[in-house]
Structure 1
Amino acid sequence: MNLSMGFVRPNRGNSTRPMTKAAVTLSSLAVFAALALVSAGPAAAEERVYQASSVAGEAVEHAKEQIGKPYRWGAEGPGSFDCSGLVQYSYKKAGKRLSRTTYTQFREGRSVSRSNLRPGDLVFFYSGPSHVGMYVGNGRMIHAPSSGKRVQIVEMAGYYNRQFVGARRVA
């Protein structure tokens, strides 16, 4: 029985030999799978990460809804926030309970290196630590900075890069 179907593939040297139906089918499947992955693009990869941690993604969205609200020491929302109050409030709205202070939040979840940060990870600054924000992706975080300022998204570069002391994944 001849299974060659007229397809040939190069063999070592200059000779060729026919491909079987199974080889053609497997080759076709590999090409279609590769095309599907390429055409899905980076958005599909981001969506998979988001779905893997939907609580963290929801917490980020709840935190973003607070942009522009004033900082007030000890405030837990919804009208104003301090740094740990913003984090606690955002995660609570996403269905996850966190402790109230920066110091205790630094002991929740598991440690994450800066190079492995994902949206929703908590990022900590200053010795103690004494300030917390929430990573939102692309080297940025959302936080309630200090008196006289408002909830905002900032780059984690320069000043914050020098003050960074660690990160925790809580969802």
Structure 2
Amino acid sequence: MLNNKFGKMVAGITLSFMILASGSLVIPSKAVHAASVSAASATSNNIIDTGKQYLGVPYKFGSSSNQTKTFDCSSFTQRLYKLNGVQLPRTAKSQSNVGRYISRSQLQPGDLVFFYSPIHHVAIYIGNGQILHTYGAPGVTISSLNSGWWSDHYTTARRVL
């Protein structure tokens, strides 16, 4: 009888320590998650702030991401993300296959937004229903995603941060 009570007590103490230990392991993971979320937010802010410095730079199809005199849509995104440690493929179509799918309702600043079918345009979601991108006559510009042409031709989005 004594051995049975002692065994139950040891088992109870062991179980209590296991619960305490597992609870303490959860706290750092939440802190790590919060840190990674804020790091992604800081990176997206850097990408957007840097991209806005190029407002008005002319569009030229086939532009290299190794220079800043002209951009096409995917050289623009490739350059901005590379400056922030994120490697993207060269074309909009290829960029649409990296990261993870994000629904339109879940867009966050820094997400890549794609247009047409088949995909051949990419932009950066900057928040408040706006995108930063380059095309045609305006060159690097900010457009509304929630109305007009860009809203009508939206295809998908990817989160790479």
TM-score computed with the length of structure 1 as normaliser: 0.68
Decide which of 137, 145, 160 is 2:150's aligned counterpart. 160
Query: Is contact 1:50–1:57 with CA below 8 Å preserved after alignment?
Result: no
Question: Where does the alignment leave 5 or more consecutive residues of structure 2 unmatched?
Answer: 1-35
Query: Is contact 1:55–1:95 with CA below 8 Å preserved after alignment?
Result: no
Query: Is contact 1:122–1:132 with CA below 8 Å preserved after alignment?
Result: yes
Structure 1 equivalent of residue 127 of structure 2 = 137
The letter of the residue matching 1:56 is: S
Query: Is contact 1:106–1:168 with CA below 8 Å preserved after alignment?
Result: yes
What does residue range 1-171 of structure 1 map to in structure 2 within 5 Å? Answer: 51-75=39-63, 76=65, 77-146=67-136, 148-156=137-145, 157-171=147-161
Distance 1:161 1:141 in 2: 11
The letter of the residue matching 2:41 is: S
Distance 1:135 1:78 in 2: 21
Q: What per-residue deviation string (whole Å, max 9, x for no partner) do you get for residues 47-90 of structure 1?
A: x9654432222211221111110001111231110000110011
3-state SS of 1:53 partner: helix
Structure 1 equivalent of residue 17 of structure 2 = none
User: Which 4+ residue blocks in structure 1 deviate beyond 6 angstroms?
Assistant: none
Question: Where does the alignment leave 5 or more consecutive residues of structure 1 unmatched?
Answer: 1-47
Larger radius of gyration: 1
3-state SS of 1:103 partner: helix
RMSD value, Cα: 1.6
Q: How many residues align?
A: 123
Distance 1:117 1:126 in 2: 18
Query: Is contact 1:55–1:96 with CA below 8 Å preserved after alignment?
Result: no
TM-score computed with the length of structure 2 as normaliser: 0.72
